[in-house]
């Protein structure tokens, strides 16, 4: 895999596993899935109740089959064509500004985000410097501007729907030795002008919003 997720979802949800089909083991497996996914996806202090949904578990299971699966949770590929290089797409840019909720040691974080919309849907690229080398980070598209509750809630294609990709747009990436991190994610649907901002935070401390960028629609 291109990003380091230590999710035991594959082992737990692998349908090829030669385990008995009794109720007990299956329920245990489901619990492991939900727990693992909640850690990954409890982004930006969202409603944690949503994370225990069956949708969450099924998405995690799909992701184990690879990011190209129909319902796979694609959370980015650093080698994908970046949003500002998508032929024929309409691109908006945003510059990250630090948020007061950032954890210690994050004072030098800076960078940009691009949101492209075209024939392949929506493509988002983030590029940041000043991160902690080797640490992993998450970014999400948000529904409010940075000045309003630090971006407010996550953008969702279907309001009230799943809090996981592909109904939300998530990017996971790891900072290199120089503290630089970037990745690109694609979603088959267009966000229109509803995903007005993007927020980045540490993968393990998702309430600690580090920086936010408003797109210049």
Q: Confirm or reject binding of residue 99 to Cu ion (CB under 5 A).
A: no
Stretch that binds Cu ion, among 5-13, 17-25, 101-109, 132-140 (CB under 5 A): 132-140
Stretch that binds Cu ion, among 7-15, 22-30, 42-50, 107-115 (CB under 5 A): 42-50
Q: Confirm or reject binding of residue 126 to Cu ion (CB under 5 A).
A: no
Q: Confirm or reject binding of residue 146 to Cu ion (CB under 5 A).
A: no
Shortest Cβ distance from residue 87 to Cu ion (Å)? 29
Q: Confirm or reject binding of residue 92 to Cu ion (CB under 5 A).
A: no
Of 67, 140, 156, 190, the residue at the interface with Cu ion (CB under 5 A) is 140
Q: Confirm or reject binding of residue 76 to Cu ion (CB under 5 A).
A: no
| Closest residue to Cu ion: CB criterion | 140
Bridge partner list, 116: 91, 123
Q: Confirm or reject binding of residue 199 to Cu ion (CB under 5 A).
A: yes
Q: Are 203 and 172 in contact (CB under 8 A)?
A: yes
What DSSP line would sit under the chain, residue for residue? --S----THHHHH-TTS----SHHHHHHHHHHHHHHHHHHH-GGG--GGGGGSHHHHHHHHHHTT-TTSTT------TTSPPGGG-TT-EEEEEE-EE-TTPPTT-TT-EEEEEEEEETTEEEEEEEEESPPTT-EEEEEEESS-TTTGGG-SBP-SSTTS-SSTTTS-EEEEE--TTS-EEEEEEESS--TT---EEEEEESS-TT---EEEE---
Q: Confirm or reject binding of residue 130 to Cu ion (CB under 5 A).
A: no
Residue with tokens 């980045």: 200
Q: Confirm or reject binding of residue 51 to Cu ion (CB under 5 A).
A: no
Of 44, 89, 126, 211, the residue at the interface with Cu ion (CB under 5 A) is 44
Q: Confirm or reject binding of residue 43 to Cu ion (CB under 5 A).
A: yes
Stretch that binds Cu ion, among 6-14, 50-58, 126-134, 137-145 (CB under 5 A): 137-145
Q: Which residues bind Cu ion (CB under 5 A)?
A: 43-44, 140, 199
């Amino acid at each position: 895999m291109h990003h380091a997720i230590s999710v035991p979802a594959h082992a737990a949800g692998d349908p090829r596993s030669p385990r008995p089909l009794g109720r007990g083991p299956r329920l245990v497996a489901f619990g492991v899935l939900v727990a693992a996914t909640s850690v990954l996806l409890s982004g930006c202090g969202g409603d944690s109740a949503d994370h225990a949904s069956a949708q969450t578990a099924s998405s995690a299971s799909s992701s184990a089959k690879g990011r190209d699966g129909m319902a796979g949770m694609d959370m980015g590929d650093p080698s994908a064509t970046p949003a500002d290089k998508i032929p024929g797409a309409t691109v908006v840019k945003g510059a990250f500004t630090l948020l007061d909720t950032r954890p210690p040691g994050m004072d030098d974080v800076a960078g940009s985000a691009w949101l492209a919309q075209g024939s392949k849907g929506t493509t988002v690229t983030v590029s940041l410097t000043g991160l902690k080398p080797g640490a992993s980070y998450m970014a999400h598209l948000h529904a409010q501007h940075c000045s309003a509750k630090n971006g407010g809630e996550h953008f969702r294609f279907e309001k009230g729907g799943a809090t996981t990709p592909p109904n939300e747009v998530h990017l996971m990436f790891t900072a290199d030795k120089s503290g630089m991190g970037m990745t690109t994610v694609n979603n088959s649907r267009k966000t229109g002008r509803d995903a007005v901002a993007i927020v980045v935070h540490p993968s393990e401390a998702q309430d600690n919003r580090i920086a936010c960028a408003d797109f210049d629609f």
